[in-house]
Amino acid sequence: MVLTTHALSWLRLDSRVAIMGILNVTPDSFSDGGLFLDPDKALERARRLIEEGADIVDVGGESTRPGAKPVSRDEECARVVPVIAAIRSRFAVPLSVDTSDPVVMAEAVAAGANFINDIRALTRPGALAAARDLKVPVCLMHSRAEPGTLSKASKETDVVAEVRTYLADRLAACVAAGLDRRHIVVDPGFGFGKNLAENAALMRALPEFVGLAPVLIGVSRKRMAGEPLGLPVGERLHSSIALALAGVSAGARIVRVHDVRETREAVRMWEWLYEPKEWVA
Ligand code: 9MG
């Protein structure tokens, strides 16, 4: 599927919140590692996400959980490219590739991806140029550290100012490099090197980010959805939905989740209440 309309208009973010379904093609992701490494299982997972109403499916081949092993470029391509190609040959759903590597970006887009989700905000060598040349929308996420060291990275700083400044700077770097500003989405990176209090502060301050670009949030099953209530990873559905709705109330327009159907219903109810004129089922 080639999404030719300009910028992100195909996600219709002005009229609804988009649900991004997570497809981890990894052996070691924190909540579903190893479940979808087999391409047939990955395709089945994609089918389910689409049936449940995902507006975009995010395919990733590198785990970002603390302690995760780095993955080589070849291995990352081998994990995500055939899966993206297989989904694209069967479904018209927009597809996102969760990667920081410029070669993986290019191969994924050639296989049918329409969006780049980069937890390193295009800071890897060659990533800015690749995103510019590929001309697909990009999510720039803030992270304080490499995934393997995430939980040790929190600092004694004003996290909101730090993240806002970082995202504004990366946005400016992208525009200076020739990316279309309308192609850019920002994400404060919940959990990425931030402690619980910092994650909470970022959620409360989310309205300060919406002036930069459309905001994407990822809170699904994360530590901040578990630790405050003492919930293990497998029991974080309701708390994840509560956080997703807090984010939507604060202005987030894309929500990255494992549990599409449940989150979508909650978000659509919120829209029915608070954005009735624009509400689309
Ligand atoms: C890949 N990945 C894991 N968590 C994420 C989050 O919070 N945001 C984005 N954009 N990507 C994420």
pLDDT digits (tens, 9 = 90+) for 196-213: 999 999 999 999 999 999
What is the token pair recorded at 102? Answer: 């410029």
Please compute the mean of the pLDDT values over residues 183-195 and round it to a whole number. Answer: 96
Question: Is residue 119 within 6 Å of ligand 1 at its C-beta?
Answer: yes
Q: Could you give the angle at the alpha carbon of 107 between the alpha carbons of 140 and 21, nearest 5°? A: 50
126-165 per-position pLDDT tens digit: 999 999 999 999 999 999 976 656 555 565 689 999 999 9
Please compute the mean of the pLDDT values over residues 206-227 and round it to a whole number. Answer: 97
Going across the sheet that includes 138-141, the strands are 184-187, 138-141, 115-118, 95-98, 56-60, 18-24, 254-257, 216-218
47-106 per-position pLDDT tens digit: 999 999 999 999 999 988 777 888 999 999 999 999 999 999 999 999 999 999 999 999
CA distances from 92 to 42, 84, 107 (A): 16, 11, 18
Q: Among 143, 256, 258, 263, which residue has the most ligand 1 atoms within 8 Å of its CB, making it the best to mutate?
A: 256
Question: Is residue 26 within 6 Å of ligand 1 at its C-beta?
Answer: no
Cα 39 from Cα 28, distance rounded (Å): 16
Q: Does the annotation mark 135 as catalytic?
A: no
Question: Is residue 244 within 6 Å of ligand 1 at its C-beta?
Answer: no
Q: Could you give the angle at the alpha carbon of 144 between the alpha carbons of 156 and 42, nearest 5°? A: 140
Catalytic residue among 120, 170, 223, 256: 256
Q: Does the annotation mark 41 as catalytic?
A: no
247, containing H or E segment: helix 237-249
What is the token pair recorded at 11? Answer: 């996600």
Please compute the mean of the pLDDT values over residues 209-218 and round it to a whole number. Answer: 97
**Could you tell me the CATH superfamily of domain 9-274?**
Dihydropteroate synthase-like (3.20.20.20)
Q: Where are the domains of the chain?
A: 9-274
Q: Which atom of ligand 1 is nearest to the CA of 117?
A: 10
